């Protein structure tokens, strides 16, 4: 096990190992806080970056995790239709409470609490994708099928369509 990983990145690595995933968490000198930064740091397309976006359902207060392609903006109306209630913003405290991680490094896995999880269908076009691993400098590589299996997420269309 890599003892040089930060505690948050190590937690993600241990989660992956426990589930039989051979992927290794790497911490990079460059920030991976945004999709373009992450793509630059690992040398892939922005669309191959998995953005972990946390929303708070307005009525129930449930956490909702949307795993979006880095190239897409989330159409919140589509997600609201899926969950049957409006979405609200999740502040930093809510994100940490739900996931156990700070905004900017939220991974798609190893969360403190289970959440409704939706996966951007556009991620399925790639052989490999990259996701945050607990810090703004940590990432790991996996396949779209591994993401689906690890998160038990539902694959849906989430991209906001461009205005004509």
pLDDT, one tens digit per residue, over 14-52 is: 999 999 998 899 999 888 888 999 999 999 999 999 999
Average pLDDT over residues 2-14: 87
The pTM (predicted TM-score) of the whole model is: 0.93
- The set of residues, in sequence order, having a beta carbon less than 8 Å from that of 64 and lying 6+ positions away, is 54, 55, 56, 57, 79, 83, 87, 115, 116, 117, 118
- Tell me the domain boundaries of the chain: 7-156
Question: Using H for helix, E for strand and C for coil, what is the string for 45-113?
Answer: CHHHEEEEEEEEECCCCCEEEEEEECCCCECHHHHHHHHCCCEEECCHHHHHHHHCCCCCCCCCCCCCC
* C-alpha to C-alpha distance for 126 and 98, rounded to whole angstroms: 28
Q: What is the pLDDT of residue 164?
A: 42
Q: What is the pLDDT of residue 162?
A: 58
Comparing C-alpha atoms, which of 142, 111, 124 is closest to residue 42? 142
7-156 carries CATH number 3.90.1150.10: no
């Amino acid at each position: 096990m890599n003892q040089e990983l930060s505690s948050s990145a190590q937690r993600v690595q241990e989660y992956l190992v426990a589930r039989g995933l051979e992927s290794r968490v790497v911490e990079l000198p460059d920030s991976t806080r945004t999709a373009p930064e992450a793509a630059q740091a690992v040398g892939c397309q922005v669309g191959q970056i998995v953005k972990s976006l946390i929303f708070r359902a307005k009525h129930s207060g449930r956490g909702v995790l949307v795993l979006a392609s880095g190239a897409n903006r989330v159409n919140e109306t589509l997600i609201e239709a899926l969950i049957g209630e409006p979405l609200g913003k999740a502040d930093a405290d809510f994100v940490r409470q739900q996931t156990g991680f700070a905004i900017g490094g939220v991974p798609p896995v190893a969360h403190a609490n289970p959440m409704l999880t939706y996966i951007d269908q556009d991620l399925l076009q790639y052989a490999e994708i990259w996701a945050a691993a607990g810090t703004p400098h940590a990432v790991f590589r996996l396949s779209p099928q591994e993401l689906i299996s690890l998160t038990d997420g539902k694959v849906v269309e989430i991209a906001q369509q461009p205005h004509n």
